[in-house]
């Protein structure tokens, strides 16, 4: 691999600029519909990290890190913390760890909200963190 | 269908083990990958091959309507694939580091830790 | 309350690891957090042990999904004892790491990795679901892979290749066994499996997963002839990591083997007990002979792990309540003593800059205290009365004589003489003979407490077990009783 600049292609970088927000929106859509239909935090996280990986291919890893702002390894921590928290909420009510608790009323846009969704958000962040850590580490060498 | 899959599982095991016995560490990792695919396919086959509906109880019904697909083997395989993905990623980075430090991909050159 | 006690040994290391990941940049805070986490884990383990001893087997259905559909956590006395030992070793190793791990590893996330490893080990001890057991094994393995390779020296990487390959191989076999078990029984809950397998119309079919599990756990536990990865890799990482691995990892394999061959399969039905017994004898002999040939401190100790695994498996092979109690007693004794010996090898390295026996010497004259600290676990490992290893071996020998297995008893006695021989070799070379050159240094002042405290603590516990073996023995006996008769375990897991 000679020179990082040689990798930047005009077509890819222009396309990425439009694809990135679309893919990120799609990943959130997949995350939110996940409870009763195909989708969920894992797939959503993979879509989101694919979008960010695409950005890193088009503009370089340093630019992708700058855009992400937060270290992917910290994302793993935040995601796990959210997942643990979602399990602890049920223990605070005296139910076994990770028991699903639901908000009674359906909310607009989000539908039924409960701790399993919170858990999924945690998974979403962990997947992004893990995949990006691996991809960034491999392409930075 | 079961027989075809059984043969495929056997073939994957054979190929995986053969690759693991080679001296190159790259082939070792490929062999490990094949081995985990073989295991996943075996679990898939063990879950009975039938054309079933999704295992969701229809509104108003009390129990599942036959035939339905068993979701558990799929859940097991998905988990195993995710774990396998992580392990493979680690293994690739590991052999890359080994190649950089030891300067060869020949397993026979890596006997230093076994010397007296 | 009970459900909390069961979940805490998982939540504490997980939360510690996650918080540690978030404060990766602040090494000072990380050290405090890691120590506090390990201390809390030990406390929660003790709480669980007391509660299980008083209230019988504890179970929790995670997410309130009823067994056998959901994931069950179950703690009987055996699990609880193992969790306490995990907390103890975790605390000792974290304390030792405070004084010995370099800042680079700390920045990379050494402490969170150790806690993830403890999480995996505790999870494996507490789960009541065989696929979940696989997942915890993987959690433990992946963090151990990283700990093994972290630092990237040549020997470490070469060791890691062997360690990773054979452990992945064993995981693949484990996974296949789980798949086949599910195909036969249609369930993965271990209590439910136990019930289903006992009434299955094809008991011979269950032999396939039984053998696969025997081999898979055999690789993880390093029994003959599946142990070659262990002496090739355990002496390569920093000594704190070696001690952690030596204390806990192979014992998780032994635990899984005992759990599966008491709860799921009856080893006496198809002659599995004979296979285990033969393997245990050969494991003892090959391990100790390997150790006799070595001249490097940590490699001698590594080979002794293998040899000692043989004793633990021997209890399973004899398969009487008293022999299983002997196994549990042996595991507890071994974890404490072996971790301590590895930590002492690290102290010796600090003092003389080498692990090779020919470069060592004169330690008895310079550091008589350290020499005494070495002798306690070393003689205990060899089984000299009245130390803890003597009681452990005594129980096993007695159990062997009761069922007239004289050959294995003879082997175990001969092996303990050879163990004594190789411990005396270390004593003679490192402590007794005069130093080859005068390059004795003393321990660094600032770290002295962190380095000596775990060694002293573990030695004190060894002495305590030696003087009052009754406490641990009665615990082991009750635990063995629960293993031999799993009806209570099944009833508590599946409900009435």
Distance between CA A98 and CA C11 in Å, rounded? 12
- Please give, one letter per residue, the 3-state secondary structure of C191-254: HHHHHHHHCCCCCCCCHHHHHHHHHHHHHHHCCCCCCCHHHHHCCCCCHHHHHHHHHHHHHHHH
User: Up-side HSE of residue A126: CA atoms within 13 Å toward CB?
Assistant: 20
pLDDT at B65 over 80: no
Closest Cβ opposite residue B93 in set A42, A130, A138 = A138
Contact A141 B86 (CB under 8 A): no
pLDDT at B37 over 60: yes
Q: How many domains does chain A have?
A: 1
Give the pLDDT band (50/70/90) at residue A39: confident
Q: What is the pLDDT of residue A85?
A: 92
Smallest CA–CA separation between A73 and chain C, in Å?
Answer: 7
CA-closest candidate to residue A88, choices A122, A125, A63: A122
Contact B112 C179 (CB under 8 A): no
Give the pLDDT band (50/70/90) at residue A6: very low
Transcribe C309-372 into DSSP letters: HHHHHHHHHH-SHHHHHHHHHHHHHHHHHHHHHHHHHHHHHHHHS--BGGG---HHHH-HHHHH
> Please, which residues have CB within 8 angstroms of residue A82's CB and are 6 or more apart in sequence?
A118, A119, A121, A122, A125
Closest Cβ opposite residue B89 in set A42, A134, A141 = A134
Smallest CA–CA separation between A135 and chain B, in Å?
Answer: 9
Contact B82 A42 (CB under 8 A): yes
Q: Is A141 on the interface with B (CB under 8 A)?
A: yes
What is the domain range of residue C162? 2-494
Could you give the C-alpha distances from C455 to C39, C121, C369, in angstroms and in order?
16, 22, 11
Q: Is A46 on the interface with C (CB under 8 A)?
A: no
Contact A78 C4 (CB under 8 A): no
In tens, the pLDDT along B74-96 reads 889 999 998 998 898 889 889 98
Chain B hits for C233, CB-CB cut-off 8 Å, are: 113
In tens, the pLDDT along A43-90 reads 999 999 999 999 998 888 899 999 988 889 889 999 999 999 998 888
- Domain-located, residue A118: yes
Q: Which of C303-308's residues contact partners 24+ apart within 8 Å by CB, and which partners?
A: C303/C231, C304/C338, C304/C381, C304/C419, C304/C422, C305/C222, C305/C230, C305/C234, C305/C246, C305/C250, C305/C338, C306/C222, C306/C223, C306/C224, C306/C227, C306/C230, C306/C231, C307/C283, C307/C415, C307/C419, C308/C334, C308/C338, C308/C381
| Cα-trace Rg, chain C | 21
Nearest Cα residue in chain B from C186: B47
pLDDT at A4 over 60: no
For each of the domains in chain B, give its residue range(s) and CATH number, in order of start: 2-50+70-114 (1.10.287.3510)
pLDDT, mean of residues A9-28: 92
Give the pLDDT band (50/70/90) at residue A7: low
- Domain-located, residue A85: yes
pLDDT at A36 over 80: no
Chain B hits for A137, CB-CB cut-off 8 Å, are: 93
Q: pLDDT below 70 — which residues of chain C?
A: 437-446, 496
Q: How many domains does chain C have?
A: 1
What is the domain range of residue A12? 8-140
Neighbours of chain A (3+ CB pairs under 8 A): B, C
pLDDT above 90 coverage of chain B, percent: 41
Contact C160 B94 (CB under 8 A): yes
Measured CB to CB, residues of chain C less than 8 Å from chain B are 131, 134-135, 138, 141-142, 145-146, 149, 152-155, 157-162, 164-165, 168-169, 172, 175-176, 178-180, 182-183, 188, 231-233, 235-236, 293-295
- Domain-located, residue A115: yes
Tokens encoding C328: 């549990």
Nearest Cα residue in chain B from C146: B90
Q: What is the pLDDT of residue A3?
A: 43
- Domain-located, residue A28: yes
- Domain-located, residue A2: no
Nearest Cα residue in chain B from C139: B83
Measured CB to CB, residues of chain C less than 8 Å from chain A are 3-4, 7, 11, 14-15, 17-19, 21-22, 24, 60-64, 109
Q: Which of C223-228's residues contact partners 24+ apart within 8 Å by CB, and which partners?
A: C223/C279, C223/C280, C223/C283, C223/C306, C223/C309, C223/C310, C223/C313, C224/C279, C224/C282, C224/C283, C224/C286, C224/C287, C224/C306, C224/C310, C225/C282, C225/C286, C226/C166, C227/C283, C227/C286, C227/C287, C227/C306, C227/C309, C228/C162, C228/C166
Give the pLDDT band (50/70/90) at residue B63: confident
Q: What is the pLDDT of residue A2?
A: 40
């Amino acid at each position: 691999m000679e020179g990082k600049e040689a990798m930047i292609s005009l077509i890819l970088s222009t396309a990425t600029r439009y694809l990135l927000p679309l893919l990120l929106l799609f990943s959130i859509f997949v995350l939110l519909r996940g409870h009763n239909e195909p989708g969920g935090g894992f797939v959503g996280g993979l879509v989101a990290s694919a979008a960010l990986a695409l950005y890193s291919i088009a503009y370089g890893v340093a630019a992708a890190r700058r855009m992400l702002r937060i270290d992917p390894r910290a994302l793993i921590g935040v995601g796990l913390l959210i997942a643990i928290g979602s399990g602890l909420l049920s223990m605070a009510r005296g139910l076994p760890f990770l028991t699903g608790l639901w908000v009674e009323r359906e909310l607009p846009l989000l539908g039924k909200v409960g701790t399993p969704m919170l858990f999924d958000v945690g998974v979403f962040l962990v997947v992004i963190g893990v995949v990006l850590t691996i991809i960034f580490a491999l392409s930075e060498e | 269908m079961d027989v075809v899959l059984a043969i495929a599982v056997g073939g994957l095991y054979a190929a995986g083990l053969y690759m693991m016995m080679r001296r190159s560490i790259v082939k070792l990792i490929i062999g490990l990958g094949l081995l985990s695919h073989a295991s996943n396919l075996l679990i898939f086959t063990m879950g009975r091959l039938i054309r079933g509906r999704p295992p969701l109880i229809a509104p108003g019904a009390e129990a599942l309507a036959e035939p339905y697909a068993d979701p558990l083997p799929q859940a097991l395989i998905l988990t195993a694939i995710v774990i396998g993905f992580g392990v493979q990623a680690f293994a690739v980075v590991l052999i890359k580091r080994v190649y950089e430090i030891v300067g060869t991909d020949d397993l026979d050159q890596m006997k230093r830790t076994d010397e007296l | 309350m009970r459900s909390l006690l069961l979940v805490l040994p998982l939540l504490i290391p997980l939360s510690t690891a996650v918080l540690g990941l978030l404060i990766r940049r602040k090494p000072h805070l990380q050290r405090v957090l890691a120590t506090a986490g390990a201390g809390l884990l030990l406390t929660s383990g003790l709480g669980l042990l007391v509660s299980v001893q008083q209230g019988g087997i504890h179970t929790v259905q995670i997410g309130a999904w009823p067994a056998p559909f959901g994931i069950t956590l179950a703690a009987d006395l055996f699990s609880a004892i193992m969790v306490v030992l995990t907390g103890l070793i975790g605390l000792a190793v974290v304390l030792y790491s405070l004084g010995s791990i370099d800042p680079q590893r700390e920045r990379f996330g050494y402490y969170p990795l150790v806690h993830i490893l403890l999480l995996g080990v505790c999870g494996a001890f507490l789960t009541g679901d065989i696929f979940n057991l696989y997942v915890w094994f993987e959690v433990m393995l992946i963090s151990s892979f990283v700990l093994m390779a972290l630092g990237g020296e040549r020997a470490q990487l070469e060791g890691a290749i062997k360690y990773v390959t054979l452990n992945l191989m064993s995981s693949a076999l484990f996974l296949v066994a789980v798949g086949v078990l599910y195909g036969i029984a249609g369930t993965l809950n271990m209590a439910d499996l136990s019930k289903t397998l006992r009434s299955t119309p094809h008991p011979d079919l269950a032999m396939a997963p039984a053998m696969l599990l025997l081999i898979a756990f055999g690789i993880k536990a390093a029994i003959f002839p599946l142990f070659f990865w262990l002496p090739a890799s355990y002496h390569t990482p920093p000594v704190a990591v070696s001690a952690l691995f030596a204390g806990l990892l192979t014992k998780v394999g032994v635990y899984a083997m005992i759990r599966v061959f008491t709860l799921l399969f009856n080893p006496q039905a198809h002659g599995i007990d004979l296979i285990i017994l033969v393997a245990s004898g050969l494991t003892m002999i090959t391990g100790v002979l390997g150790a006799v040939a070595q001249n490097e401190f940590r490699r001698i100790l590594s080979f002794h792990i293998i040899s000692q695994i043989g004793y633990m498996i021997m209890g399973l092979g004899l398969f009487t309540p008293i022999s299983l109690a002997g196994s549990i007693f042996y595991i507890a004794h071994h974890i404490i003593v072996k971790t301590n010996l590895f930590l002492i090898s690290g102290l010796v390295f600090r003092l003389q800059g080498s692990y090779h026996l020919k470069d060592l010497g004169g330690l008895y004259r310079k550091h008589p205290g350290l020499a005494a600290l070495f002798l306690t676990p070393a003689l205990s490992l060899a089984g000299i009365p009245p130390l803890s290893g003597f009681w452990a071996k005594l129980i096993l020998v007695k159990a062997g004589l009761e069922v007239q297995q004289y050959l294995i008893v003879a082997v175990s006695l001969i092996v303990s003489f050879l163990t004594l021989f190789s411990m005396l070799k270390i004593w003679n070379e490192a402590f007794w003979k005069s130093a080859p050159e005068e390059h004795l240094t003393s321990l660094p002042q600032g770290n002295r407490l962190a380095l000596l405290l775990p060694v002293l603590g573990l030695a004190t516990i060894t002495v305590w077990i030696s003087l009052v073996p009754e406490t641990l023995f009665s615990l082991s006996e009750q635990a063995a009783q629960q293993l031999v008769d799993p009806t209570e375990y099944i009833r508590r897991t599946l409900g009435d």
